[in-house]
Amino acid sequence: MSAGAVADLFQRSFGAAPAVIASAPGRVNLIGEHIDYNGGEVLPIAITSRTFVALGPSGGSRSRAVSREETTAGEFVNADGMPAGAWWDYVHGALRQAGCDAPVAIAVASDVPVGAGLSSSAALEVATVLAAWSWRDVPWTPDSVAMAAHRAERDFVGVPCGIMDQYASACARADHALRVWCDDARTAFVPFDRDVLIVDTGDPRHLRSSAFADRRQSCEAALRVLQEASPGVRALAHADPQLVAAALHGESLRRARHVVSEQARVHRVVEALARGEPLGALLLDSHRSLRDDYECSSPRLDWVVEWAMTRPEVDGARLTGAGWGGCAIAVGDRGALRDVATALATAFEARWGPAPRTWITGAGDGARREG
């Protein structure tokens, strides 16, 4: 995908050249899953697939949005109205959170896969905020773009997600992972020069949103119990594992145990990357914790992870993103994963039916103005 493609679409749809173009990537999370809304640290990378947004004045009283990947076009008033349950809700919410009251024309062209858990919605929100602010010469930083895009997802679209996806899309840097402290939104870059194989299991997503909200509630309830026992605990990710083991039971214990153990693994992965040490055992432990304690894996995700770990080129595999379907990742040296992807797709097809979509990505750049 390119700025030229979205400029062409804008010209064809609205009969003029766009005033600005911005782009933003999807993401995969290397480690730190279900940690962002528990106040801990996460370690995503931007993928190299991007969403391009071209923007200009609409010439009418309503904003209009078209997409190269969608058949329906949207019309709305930026400062008014509810989500329509349509793809342009992300655009509408982002324009509103960007404080853009003027009616605009928007064209979208993207190669970030939709519905695979690679944060296509965050990429669209981030690119839209950046386009709107660039158009109006509003001063911005990657962090301020991420925050506005996150408010669009949480407050307008109504998804109770943490800040990871919008931060990864807005703030990432090529050849680095982005360490985000989700309690105070600090960030740091961690050099990451390896490849990541992404495998879309194609599992249906319908359970994902209700199960996600359910897990958030379980974590909030577990935190309240811990705070009764020890008032100083400020976020579940920072709780003492011994306190978790002593104060919680059953399902609540399992959910919280995932969170505190995953947080410790993030620190160990950051250290391993700095020392050039293998990641395999840490990523696999993360997957097992998500499978057994957080219960957000699926049979296909488990199968992909187990299959990938049999290959010597793979240094760690795990589900990425929310889970309950979506994508698994496998990490390897640059250029080493092509044969793995081919063999995995063949084996997956033999076991589960249609071959999965796969991508190999390095760590890409975050959002930028294109023109």
SS3 of 69-121: the string is CCCCCEEECCCCCCCCCCCCHHHHHHHHHCCCCCCEEEEEEECCCCCCCCCHH
Active site residue 36: no
User: Under the criterion CB under 6 A, does residue 165 sit at the interface with ligand GLA?
Assistant: yes
**Tokens standing for residue 26:** 């999807």
Rg of the chain in Å (alpha carbons): 21
Residue number, 37 or 140, with CB nearest to ligand GLA: 37
By the rule CB under 6 A, 161 interacts with ligand GLA: yes
**Nearest CB to ligand GLA, comparing residues 38 and 58:** 38
Q: Which residues pair with 187 in a beta bridge?
A: 180
Instruction: Rule CB under 6 A: say whether 34 interacts with ligand GLA.
Output: yes
- In the complex, minimum distance from the CB of residue 359 to ligand GLA, in angstroms, rounded to a whole number: 17
CB of 165 to ligand GLA, least distance (A): 5
151 binds ligand GLA (CB under 6 A): no
Amino acid at 329: I
Tell me if 164 contacts ligand GLA by CB under 6 A: yes
The H-assigned helical ranges of the chain are 3-14, 89-97, 120-135, 142-151, 164-171, 208-229, 241-247, 250-275, 280-292, 299-309, 338-352
Piece of 27-35, 125-133, 218-226, 352-360 that binds ligand GLA (CB under 6 A):
27-35
37 or 135: CB nearest ligand GLA: 37
Contact window for ligand GLA (CB under 6 A) among 26-34, 185-193, 253-261, 306-314: 26-34
Strands 63-67 and 104-110: parallel
Chain centroid to CA 127: 14
Q: Which residue of 321, 325, 356, 366 would you call a contact of ligand GLA, by CB under 6 A?
A: 321
Stretch that binds ligand GLA, among 28-36, 123-131, 197-205, 347-355 (CB under 6 A): 28-36
Residue 139 makes CB contacts below 8 A (sequence gap 6+) with 133
CB nearer ligand GLA, residue 35 or residue 55: 35
Could you please report the per-residue DSSP string of 200-225?
A: E-----TTHHHHHHHHHHHHHHHHHH
Closest alpha carbon to 331 in 257, 277, 275: 277
Interface with ligand GLA includes 319 (CB under 6 A)?
no
Question: How are beta strands 63-67 and 176-181 bridged, if at all?
Answer: unpaired
Closest approach, Cβ 159 to ligand GLA, in A, equals 7
How many chain residues are in contact with ligand GLA, going by CB under 6 A? Answer: 11
Return residues touching ligand GLA (CB under 6 A).
29, 33-34, 36-37, 161-162, 164-165, 321-322
